[in-house]
Amino acid sequence: MKKLLHLFILVLFAEGLFAQDFSFNLVHDGKTRDFIVHSPCATYNCTGQKLPVVFAFHGLTETNTSMRNYTKFNEVADTAGFILVYPQGINNSWNDGSTTSTEDDLGFTNAMIDYLLANSNNCPAGFCAQIDTERIYSCGMSNGGFFSYRLACQLSNRIAAIASVTGSMDDGSFTSCNPLRPIPVFEIHGTSDPIVGYTGTAATGASAVADVLNYWIAVNGCTNTPVTTSLPDVDAGDGSTVEKIHYNNCTASTEVLHYKITGGGHTWPSMIMFIPLLLSEIQTEM
């Protein structure tokens, strides 16, 4: 549970503080690639600690700065102590294994990890913190969620767990998926999503959420009937309710977690909805 809980903390809330944001670029595959790194070390004591890293991949047509702004990840990074990476996709897209892009984004992600490891202590140009290579995570919105699944499939030697918001997998993703180990996954998806349909989208080849979950339940060797919990409806005016569906009896202490947002669309979840739940989850794990 702890790996996914770390990702849980990273995915769901906070206000944005940009003072410790660093803009970097590197040349990969003959192209200059850009990414923003947010360091918590101005407000969090990083001395002598190895910090987790979270990659936050934007949706199709979006940018890394828009991802930073609407997810509001930065403040929780400053208080909980983790490093955020907001990569920028070429033509505002990610090669998730479909026809969205042909760029080598797997290689770019590998290159960013190598860059972080090589430059983390280069202050002030760097971010002044050792990196915990056992706690490198990926999350993403829509196309970024699809890409996070691809990282789970093809970069499981470096990615500890992934989360997808309104993302999915397609037939090609299943065919090429070859994780080297069980890997925790967390899917947040609305049943009324008009772009990446909850029951699948034939026009784009996006698979039904149930098929994606079942795939990872098998990969992770989960044997239990899921624990399903109706979460408190803390925002009665948004027209949605949430069920937490949790498979937690899985190989190597992994798990599969799903938030089914009945009535939810193709959007990042409301922070009002998740803050009380998140605090409860953190207190339980502590």
Higher pLDDT, 110 or 224: 110
Phi, psi of 5 (to 5 degrees): -65, -40
CATH number of the domain located at residue range(s) 2-285 in this protein: 3.40.50.1820
For the chain, report the end-to-end CA distance as a whole number of angstroms: 11
Q: Does residue 124 have a cis peptide bond before it, meaning omega lies within 30 degrees of 0?
A: yes
Task: Give residue 16's pLDDT.
Answer: 37
Q: What is the pLDDT of residues 108-151, one digit of tens each?
A: 999 999 999 998 777 666 677 889 999 999 999 999 999 999 99
DSSP lists the bridge partners of residue 25 as 34
Residue 144 gets which letter from DSSP? Answer: H
Q: Which helix (H) or strand (E) holds 149?
A: helix 143-154
Phi, psi of 23 (to 5 degrees): -95, 125
Q: What is the distance between the alpha carbons of residues 286 and 284, in angstroms, rounded to a whole number?
A: 6
pLDDT over 80 at 165, yes or no: yes
**Residue 109, token pair as written in the block:** 């992600």
Is the distance from CB of 121 to CB of 130 less than 8 angstroms? yes
**Can you give the pTM of this predicted structure?**
0.89
Phi, psi of 224 (to 5 degrees): -90, 155
Q: What is the pLDDT of residues 234-260, one digit of tens each?
A: 888 888 999 999 999 999 999 999 999
Is the distance from CB of 150 to CB of 188 less than 8 angstroms? no
Helix count (H) and strand count (E) of the chain?
Answer: 8, 10
Percent of the chain's residues with pLDDT above 70: 86
